[in-house]
């Protein structure tokens, strides 16, 4: 059995879920979702049920250990571990949040029940999953479909010409010691690059802070080619669904946008381009080599 512990925002929860599913798929195990951390005060709520991925259960690690120790005495546990050639229970902590470790899979294979604890921000953990595992996601609602139709009909142009552009500020401004904010030069370079690849592109901006200068500068510089998504008219979940409907993406260093683009590639035929900052973290020694899929276009910061 594989238990994946989920917490954080929607993007982080999706990484944890699909990494756990990748472990379970490769090892032929059952997957359980531990959503207990999302019930703690001041924590983000459990988001996966909104997308049809299960309600999750509240698993307390100590109680899991107690149940095993209560059910089997030391002699029985030893006999079972010798019989199966595996530990009965093991907690597996990731080596790094955004690069892949085969060693973690080896550890999981060596235990009957394992709990995955970490962020698991690498596409390689779930690269082998069949497309059906992504098709299970509930990615269409009346609200997201309505806004998508309104954007396309009001701005005109071919569907292939629309680019979702994500600006993440909000809490990121308070975390600049951890994350490198995508600046105006990055967005200008990304827009220029896609303008050379897509005929008459139109940029649909998703932002959590319309007072931020970048949103205003882009709107002023590319007036007539910019559409703003008013996120106060829909939930974060429907904004995410809407973002995933586009054929090309310009991302911030945010797992929310990462998943919108990743799912767009799997769920939308004819997906075109994804552009992302090369460096996500403020500390350049932190490794994000396995976070970004190899075919995405990375833009280096000009500093």
CATH number, domain with residue 192: 3.40.50
Number of domains in the chain: 2
Whole-prediction pTM value?
0.87
Residue 134 lies in a domain: no
pLDDT at 73 over 80: no
Lowest-pLDDT choice from 15-29, 145-159, 200-214: 145-159
pLDDT for the residue numbered 24: 93
Residue 252 lies in a domain: yes
Q: What percent of the chain has pLDDT over 70?
A: 83
- For residues 265 and 290, state if they share a domain: yes
Computed over its alpha carbons, how large is the radius of gyration of the chain? 21
Beta bridge mates, 205:
165, 228
Enumerate residues 6+ apart whose C-beta is below 8 A from 270.
160, 247
pLDDT at 130 over 90: yes
Going by pLDDT thresholds of 50, 70 and 90, the confidence category of residue 218 is confident
Mean pLDDT of 88-114: 79
- For residues 228 and 100, state if they share a domain: no
Give the span between the Cα atoms of 216 and 232, in whole angstroms.
18
Residue 47 lies in a domain: yes
pLDDT for the residue numbered 77: 47
pLDDT at 19 over 90: yes
Helices (H), the chain: 10-27, 61-71, 74-84, 102-109, 132-135, 142-155, 184-195, 213-221, 236-243, 255-267
- What letter would DSSP give residue 110? T
- For residues 152 and 291, state if they share a domain: yes
pLDDT at 182 over 50: yes
pLDDT at 242 over 80: yes
Give the span between the Cα atoms of 18 and 256, in whole angstroms.
14
- For residues 107 and 196, state if they share a domain: no
Q: Is the pLDDT higher at 258 or at 216?
A: 258
pLDDT at 62 over 60: no
pLDDT for the residue numbered 123: 95
With H, G, I as helix, E, B as strand and everything else as coil, classify residue 286.
coil
Give the span between the Cα atoms of 118 and 116, in whole angstroms.
7
Give the span between the Cα atoms of 274 and 248, in whole angstroms.
6
- Torsional class of 42: left (φ above 0), alpha (ψ -120 to 50), beta (otherwise): left
* Residue 295 lies in domain: 142-299
Which tokens belong to 69? 């120790």
């Amino acid at each position: 059995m594989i238990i994946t512990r989920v917490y954080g925002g929607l993007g982080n929860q999706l990484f944890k879920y699909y990494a756990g599913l990748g472990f379970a798929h490769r090892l032929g195990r059952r997957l359980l979702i531990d959503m207990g951390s999302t019930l703690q005060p001041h924590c983000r709520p459990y988001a996966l049920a909104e997308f049809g991925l299960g309600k999750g259960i509240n698993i307390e690690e100590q109680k899991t250990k107690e149940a095993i120790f209560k059910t089997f005495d030391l002699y029985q546990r030893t006999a079972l571990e010798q019989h199966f050639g595996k530990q009965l229970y093991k907690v597996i902590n990731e080596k790094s949040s955004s690069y892949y470790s085969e060693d973690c899979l080896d550890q999981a294979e060596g235990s009957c029940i394992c709990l995955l604890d970490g962020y698991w921000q690498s596409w390689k953990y779930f690269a082998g999953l069949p497309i059906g595992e992504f098709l299970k996601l509930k990615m269409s609602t009346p609200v997201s479909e309505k806004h998508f139709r309104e954007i396309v009909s009001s701005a005109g142009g071919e569907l292939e010409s629309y680019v979702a552009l994500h600006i993440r500020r909000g809490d990121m401004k308070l975390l600049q010691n951890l994350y490198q904010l995508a600046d105006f030069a990055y967005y200008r370079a990304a827009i220029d690059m896609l303008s050379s690849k897509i005929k008459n592109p139109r940029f649909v901006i998703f932002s959590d802070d319309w007072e931020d200068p970048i949103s205003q500068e882009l709107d002023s510089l590319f007036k007539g080619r910019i559409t703003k998504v008013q996120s106060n008219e829909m939930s974060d979940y429907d904004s995410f669904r809407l973002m995933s409907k586009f054929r090309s993406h310009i991302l911030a260093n945010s797992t929310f946008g990462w998943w919108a683009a990743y799912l767009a590639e799997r769920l939308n035929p004819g997906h075109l381009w994804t552009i992302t900052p090369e460096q996500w973290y403020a500390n350049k020694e932190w490794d994000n080599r396995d976070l970004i899929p190899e075919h995405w276009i990375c833009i280096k910061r000009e500093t």
